[in-house]
């Protein structure tokens, strides 16, 4: 019987040795898979951590920049500064609610408040703080650097030692170092040239003939620059496309200080500070050509205030001058003498603006300006430098004694003596844009402006004669709605026995309405806090010598100056010397600089382009007193619709300032079809190039923004013709000297806080 049984495979010895290998391979593969899974998990956690850290430092850097832009407070001296604000944002974003374990100022080996200064000249302040979180697992370094002209820079750098969940099991590190950094900048001016021509045509910037243009700031053209060594005097860099003649320009020494007068290192006047021959003084720099240079885009500025002035501009006869109200005009041309004071607002020049004679300005000046070089209370008037005198309409006043009842007489210590009298011009201006938050000039009566004080004039009285003083306005000062009168019982500088010469010697008397067309006596004081005079028709009476001399007098802010014993505002300063030095005799005196208005600070200009101080009684940044201001009281803007143009002839004077509310754009020329090339002799027809033929007084304080139009610029004796010119093409011709002085104080606001890294 046959038996059939399953056959059994015979295993070779070699195969028996391989038994169980699959299990080992699977185990190894699982280990690798777990390692890869751990790597993926830890890498994912690292990626998420890096993303969160980057978002946190980005937000923190932007928050610091934004806070500093609005409040100019770095460390929290006024409550909550830019750095604490940025750090708080960082902690909130990363849920670090318990705050740092430590916060150390690393700015100096000596610790705070020692600060290092960095940069090529070691003149840039840098604040550094190191913070630690989570028992040292996370650190944050914050650096704030004042780069001056290039803005304030905030750098946030975070390091986080992230615990690893899986990799340490496989022999890897226990933590992974995750880093993130962000840099923001605010107040940056690096892309704000003084002269920018947007056209790409050859010779978009041309200097021809014997005309000379001095530029403080960069000259930048998207086309080419055509110039000679005597044509362009550049205190900055010259940027142009390939083929530009920037190397032919004369490069001056300069620094970023507003109002700085550039100088030729080779000794050509003005001489400048002491410096090595052919080189700049320590701390000053000399620019050079940058060719070829990339093109700059049109900044695309707007004119949002135009719709708030829709009516017809008005002209009111004030006797010695014409007062204009804002709005539109269908053709404005001056060819003869006359003075035009511009109320604050937007002026739309339909059909163009033609100034071939007369004088146009929004500057508020006192009657009988005092010579800038004299001390406060000087009796020396200006002669050649009178501002409105250039148009034949400068204000004037005369003080003199007048009899009063015995009970109302002036008491000069039982003696006869001189009283020094100074007068300021006062007016109120409104800005009608109701979309600006905190517009203090929106509602009536508006923002108060007060000019610099006049020359000091004596009025002599005798205590035995029962006398007061009358102040007679013989010619109204253009723009003055009121006058403030100040008195010094010691007389004027130069009077016998008076060795003073200080604002503290003068006391506010009262505010008086400006008299009518023919002038008249100032009577009927309007300030409740002033010295009242009950004698009808008399300006000053019932004062005693001892009640109005220091130390009873004191400094007052503009909005509080209408009170007894307040000092006068600051005096005017030296005429500008820039393109032509020394300045021509007819160049007017400058206004006082920007300043905070509470003691012991001096207040600065409170009438014109340097007046933008918010109503603070403390705090603020003395180096940037107007940084938080939104309104410049009294500012104007010239708006040129498509088809209109400007013809500023040397026979006419236009001296106007823009302000914060207009982004410091003084002439806004609406973009339109490109005009014909700049070779036309006149701008009489719409579309022809604009002509700016300056003189000793013409000045447009702010930016001329004319992106699609051509400009022909003639010489002038005063600089700057403007603070910045942005146009399609520019041609400088003639035999005179013109200048453009880029000053960040009078230029469009730089971009808001933004990340640059």
Q: How do residues 200-250 score in pLDDT, each as one tens digit? A: 999 999 887 676 788 888 899 999 999 876 778 888 889 999 999 999 988
pLDDT band at 678 (very low <50, low <70, confident <90, very high): very low
Across 660-670, average pLDDT: 94
What integer pLDDT is reported at residue 631 of this predicted model? 92
- Mean pLDDT for the chain overall: 84
445-497 confidence digits (pLDDT tens): 999 999 999 999 999 999 999 999 999 999 999 999 999 999 999 999 988 88
Residue 33 has pLDDT above 80, yes or no: no
Residue 284 has pLDDT above 80, yes or no: yes
Instruction: In whole angstroms, give the CA distance from residue 411 to residue 229.
Output: 67
Residue 303 has pLDDT above 90, yes or no: yes
pLDDT band at 498 (very low <50, low <70, confident <90, very high): confident
What integer pLDDT is reported at residue 1 of this predicted model? 47
Inter-residue contact 568 to 503 (CB < 8 Å): yes
pLDDT band at 315 (very low <50, low <70, confident <90, very high): very high
For the chain, how many residues are written?
757
Across 531-543, average pLDDT: 95
What integer pLDDT is reported at residue 467 of this predicted model? 96
Range ranked top by mean pLDDT from 369-378, 437-446, 477-486, 570-579: 477-486
Inter-residue contact 569 to 593 (CB < 8 Å): no
Instruction: In whole angstroms, give the CA distance from residue 400 to residue 385.
Output: 26
Q: Where are the domains of the chain?
A: 34-186, 190-297, 388-560
587 CB-near residues (< 8 Å, 6+ apart): 385, 575, 576, 696, 697, 717, 718
Residue 132 has pLDDT above 80, yes or no: yes
Count of beta carbons in the 10 Å neighbourhood of residue 128: 18
Instruction: In whole angstroms, give the CA distance from residue 145 to residue 689.
Output: 44
567: nearest Cα among 403, 424, 360:
424
How many CA within 13 A on the CB side of residue 581? 18
What integer pLDDT is reported at residue 718 of this predicted model? 52
Across 314-334, average pLDDT: 93
Q: Which residue in the block uniquely carries the two structure tokens 């975070």? A: 158
Inter-residue contact 640 to 670 (CB < 8 Å): yes
Count of beta carbons in the 10 Å neighbourhood of residue 582: 10
84 CB-near residues (< 8 Å, 6+ apart): 75, 76
Cis upstream peptide for 600 (omega within 30°):
yes
Instruction: In whole angstroms, give the CA distance from residue 456 to residue 607.
Output: 19
H or E stretch covering 31: helix 21-71
For 702, which DSSP code? E
Across 662-690, average pLDDT: 66
pLDDT band at 542 (very low <50, low <70, confident <90, very high): very high
Weakest-pLDDT range from 506-510, 614-618, 684-688, 689-693: 684-688
What integer pLDDT is reported at residue 680 of this predicted model? 35
Instruction: In whole angstroms, give the CA distance from residue 351 to residue 330.
Output: 6
What integer pLDDT is reported at residue 152 of this predicted model? 83
Inter-residue contact 729 to 201 (CB < 8 Å): yes
CA distances for 65 relative to 252, 634, 659, angstroms: 33, 30, 23
Helix, strand or coil, per DSSP, at residue 540: strand
What integer pLDDT is reported at residue 111 of this predicted model? 46
> pTM of the entire structure?
0.77
């Amino acid at each position: 019987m046959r038996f059939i049984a399953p056959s059994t495979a015979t295993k070779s010895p070699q195969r028996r040795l391989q038994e169980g290998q699959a299990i080992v391979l699977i185990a190894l593969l699982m280990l690798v898979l777990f390692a890869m899974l751990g790597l993926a998990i830890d890498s994912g956690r690292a990626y998420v951590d890096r993303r969160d850290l980057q978002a946190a430092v980005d937000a923190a850097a932007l928050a610091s920049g934004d806070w500093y832009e609005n409040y100019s407070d770095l460390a929290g001296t006024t409550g909550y500064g830019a750095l604490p604000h940025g750090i708080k944002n960082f902690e909130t974003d990363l849920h670090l609610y318990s705050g740092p374990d430590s916060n150390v100022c690393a700015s100096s080996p000596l610790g705070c408040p020692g600060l290092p200064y960095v940069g090529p000249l070691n003149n840039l302040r840098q604040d550094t703080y190191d913070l630690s979180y989570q028992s040292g697992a996370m650190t944050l370094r914050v650096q704030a650097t004042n780069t001056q002209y290039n803005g304030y820079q905030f750098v946030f750098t975070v390091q986080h030692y992230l615990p690893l969940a899986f990799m340490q099991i496989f022999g890897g590190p226990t933590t992974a170092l995750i880093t993130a950094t962000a840099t923001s900048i605010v107040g940056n001016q690096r892309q704000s040239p003084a002269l920018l021509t947007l056209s790409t045509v050859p010779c978009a910037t041309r200097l021809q003939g014997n005309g000379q243009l001095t530029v403080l700031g960069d000259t930048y053209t998207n086309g080419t620059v055509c110039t000679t060594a005597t044509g362009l005097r550049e205190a900055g860099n010259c940027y142009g496309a390939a083929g530009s003649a920037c190397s032919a320009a004369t490069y001056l020494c300069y620094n970023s200080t507003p109002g700085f007068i550039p100088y030729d290192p080779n000794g050509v006047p003005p001489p400048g500070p002491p410096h090595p021959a052919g080189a700049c003084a320590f701390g000053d720099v000399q620019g050079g050509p940058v060719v070829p240079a990339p093109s700059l885009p049109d900044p695309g500025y707007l004119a949002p205030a135009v719709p708030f002035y829709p009516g017809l501009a008005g002209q009111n006869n004030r006797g010695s001058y014409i007062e204009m109200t804002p709005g539109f005009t269908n053709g404005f041309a001056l060819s003869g003498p006359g003075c035009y004071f511009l109320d604050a607002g937007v002026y739309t020049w339909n059909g163009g603006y033609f100034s071939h004679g007369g004088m146009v300005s929004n500057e508020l000046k006192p009657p009988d300006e005092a010579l800038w070089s004299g001390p406060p209370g000087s009796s020396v008037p200006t002669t050649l430098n009178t501002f409105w005198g250039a148009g034949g309409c400068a204000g004037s006043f005369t003080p003199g004694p007048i009899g009063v009842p015995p009970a109302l007489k002036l008491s000069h210590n039982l003696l006869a003596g001189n009283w020094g009298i100074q007068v300021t011009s006062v007016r109120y201006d409104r800005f009608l844009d109701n979309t600006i938050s905190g517009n203090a000039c929106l509602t009536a009566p508006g923002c108060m402006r007060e000019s610099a004080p006049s020359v000091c004039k004596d009025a002599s009285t005798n205590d035995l004669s029962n006398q007061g003083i009358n102040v007679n306005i013989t010619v109204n000062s253009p723009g003055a709605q009121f006058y403030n009168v100040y008195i010094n019982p010691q007389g004027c500088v130069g009077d016998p026995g008076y060795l003073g010469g200080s604002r503290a010697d003068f006391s506010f008397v009262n505010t008086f309405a400006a008299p009518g067309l023919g002038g008249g006596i100032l009577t009927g004081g309007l300030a409740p806090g002033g010295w009242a005079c009950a004698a009808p028709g008399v300006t000053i009476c019932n004062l005693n010598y001892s009640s109005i001399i220091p130390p009873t007098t004191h400094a007052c802010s503009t909005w509080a100056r209408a009170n007894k014993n307040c000092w006068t505002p600051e005096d005017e300063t030296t005429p500008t010397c820039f393109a032509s030095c020394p300045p021509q005799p007819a160049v007017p005196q400058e206004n006082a600089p920007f300043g905070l208005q509470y003691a012991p600070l001096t207040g600065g200009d409170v009438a014109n382009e340097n007046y933008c101080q918010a109503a603070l009684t403390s705090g603020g940044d003395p180096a940037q007193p107007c940084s938080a201001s939104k309104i410049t009281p009294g500012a104007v803007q010239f708006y040129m619709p498509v088809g209109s143009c400007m013809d500023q002839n040397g026979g006419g004077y236009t001296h106007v300032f823009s302000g914060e509310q207009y982004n410091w754009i003084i002439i806004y020329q609406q973009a339109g079809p490109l005009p014909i090339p700049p070779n036309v002799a006149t701008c009489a027809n719409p579309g022809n190039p604009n002509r700016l033929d300056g003189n000793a007084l013409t000045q447009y304080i702010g930016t001329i923004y004319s992106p699609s139009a051509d400009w022909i610029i003639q010489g002038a004796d005063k600089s700057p013709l403007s603070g910045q010119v942005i146009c399609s093409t520019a041609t400088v011709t003639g035999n005179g000297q013109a200048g453009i002085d880029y000053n960040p104080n009078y230029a469009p606001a730089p971009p808001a806080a933004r990340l640059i890294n």
